[in-house]
Chain A
Amino acid sequence: MLTYLIQRFGQAVLTVAAMATLVFLGVYAIADPIDVLAAPDATPDERAQISRRLGLDQPLWMQFATFVWRALHGDLGRSFVYNEPAFTVILQRLPATLELAFTALFIAIALGLPLGLWAGLRAEKATDKAIMGGSILAFSLPNFWQGLMMVLIFSVTLGWLPAGGRGETVRVLGLDLGFLTLDGLRHLILPAVNLALFKLAVVIRLARAGTREAMLQDYVRFARAKGLRPARIVGVHVLKNILLPVVTVIGLEFGSMIAFAVVTETVFAWPGIGKLLIDSINRLDRPVIVAYLMLTVCLFVLINFVIDLIYAALDPRVRLAETDA
């Protein structure tokens, strides 16, 4: 197990290093930040001065070394727009995004599991076809379009819910949370459902496939023969066995939820890190772009690492196969 852990950890570090190089080359080397920073009528002297101050006159490998050294110390540069450390700017926006993502995750599981179970138990009947048809739509239609239609229906036409923003927030343990106030909750519903739709479809499909498979297994037949009530068979025996794949995929998908929050936050003007990224790209605020990307990359590598470990702990075949190879 230890060998496996060290191997995986090495791979994770390597991935972060590779992505850091790519992000650095992409954002710092392809375009010239001086064009953005210096006034259009700056003299060559002034441009050289700015270039010296930012260390842009150094050779590329030297700049990269400085970038890595500072990044290791948690310094990803100062935002051009906010004139604060880029990392701080992101941390300020992070609670909003996490709140959105966790609420969406909750919706996806709380609705997806029962719907998937239901569809699986009534396979090929009208209920199943309706649920599966809905999930295909949630799957294939672009997320931003679904969000737009939700705004059109629930905000513009019916006027039930606000179309954007975060509403009133309360400060709890140093975090601004919106779901504790009625106004915040009203603002949260539409974006959270929008972000949840795709994962909801995934959970429904997994739960349905798992249920159909589990219902044919011997242990369900035995449970039936033992005279257990159907509610107990489904609620305990079947549910337990379909939870594992659902939990795995949800864990994997949590990272992609943070990434897809970019779209939802733009549609609903939600003040999280996704909207910050788009604003920063439009304003050429490079340090913030880099900080966001590095944060997301680390998050993804961490999630993959943890999932690999859980898999290895649960299934000895995984770690044996890997250490042999």
Chain B
Amino acid sequence: MTPAATLPEEPVPYRADPVWRAHARAFFRSPAAGLGLVILVAVALVAALAPWITPQDPYDLASLDVMDGTQPPGSRSFAGLTYWLGTDAQGRDMLSAIVYGLRVSLVVSLSATLIAASVGSCIGVLAANAGGRLDAVLMRLVDLQLSFPAILIALVLLAAFGRGIDKVVIALVAVQWAYYARAIRAQALVERRREYMEAARALALPRTSLIFRHLLPNCLAPVIVVATMQVAHAIALEATLSFLGVGVPVTEPSLGLLIKNGYDYLLSGKYWISTFPGLALVAVIVAINLVGDRLRDVLNPRLSA
């Protein structure tokens, strides 16, 4: 008999597995979602490190040579640089242009999503908490806005504001806040009847603390789900607007604007100027959708049916 067996059983302190770890494990059970996340991290790194890893600074005019214009993929410049993805009409290396374009696309869509999520969440949680007439008016506004297609609203705003990165962000926020407001209001209506809210109210905490420190943090799961999906929408919408020529300015081209610039050449068989930025765009959108789908299943099993 080993001495250990004779010892009185010591109570093992119960330690709950942190929620996020359980979620993470559930998330990586889907290989597709894992792949999506890997692609996203890689894309984000490449975009963040653009100035240090691209073979050429595509907006430094001194490094461009018109003699290298519209070269097919794999051709070499006079300086010995290989254009793996070809060049555009100005002799710009497409690989470098795509990395910089990715940067603009991501900055625009991420900041728009962040702002829209904050604004929409505040409005949604306020509406749920206030109830009555304010709630009715705000939700009617949400219904009204969602009954118009996003692209129409964005076009109205950009027709009025003109081109510009900040203006595209404003237009995307104006288009997207309503989704968050609706999602978080539904959640808040459930959460505000829970015991912890009852307790917080019984403590006579100030209203702002009730709403923003107790109610809001408990309503964030649907926001995270909506936000991942909306980032993909924001990227696609920004690309569409830039393709239409009402989005980002020509001095800071996003992927959509690169595609537009290559469109004229597409018809004469110079496919690479439009196709490769397009493939980058598609890869990012598909990766976000894979991650978003999985997040929705993991964080909110009710929605997945």
Listed in ascending order, the chain A residues whose CB lies under 8 Å from chain B are 15, 22-23, 26-27, 30-31, 136, 140-145, 148-149, 151-152, 155-156, 163, 255-256, 259-260, 262-263, 266-267, 277-278, 281-282, 289, 293, 296-297, 300, 304
- Complex contact A145–B282 (CB within 8 A): yes
> Using Cβ atoms and an 8 Å threshold, which residues of chain B touch A152?
266, 271, 274-275
Contact of A289 among B148, B159, B259 (CB under 8 A): B159
Are A31 and B151 in contact, CB atoms less than 8 angstroms apart? no
- With a cutoff of 8 Å between Cβ atoms, the chain B residues found around residue A256 in the complex are 149, 152
B159 in contact with A27 (CB, 8 Å): yes
Residue of B with least CB distance to A303: B147
Known: A26-B157, A26-B160, A142-B239. A262 touches B286 (CB 8 A): no
Residue on B nearest A155 in the bound complex, by CB: B267
Closest to A26 in B: B160
Chain B residues near A136: list those with CB within 8 A. 289
Number of CB contacts from chain A to chain B under 8 A: 96
Secondary structure at the B interface, as helix, strand, loop or mixed, is helix
Residues 224-257 of B contacting A (Cβ, < 8 Å): 232, 236, 239-240, 243-246, 256
Whether the pair A255, B282 counts as a contact (CB closer than 8 A) is no
Say yes or no: B160 contacts A27, CB within 8 Å: yes
Give A144 to B274 CA distance when docked, in angstroms.
Answer: 11
Chain A residues closer than 8 Å to B278, beta-carbon distance: 145, 148-149
Known: A26-B159, A27-B159, A152-B271. A300 touches B246 (CB 8 A): no
- Check if B289 sits within 8 Å of A144, measured CB to CB: no
Task: Report the bound CA distance from A30 to B289 in whole Å.
Answer: 37
Contact, CB under 8 Å: A156 / B282: no
Q: Within 8 Å CB of B259, what residues of A?
A: 144-145, 148
Contact yes or no, A31 B267, CB < 8 A = no
B281 within 8 A of A: yes
B252 to chain A, nearest CB (A): 18
Contact A262/B155 with A31-B160, A143-B240, A144-B243 known, Cβ cut-off 8 Å: yes
Cβ B156 vs Cβ A293 within 8 A = yes
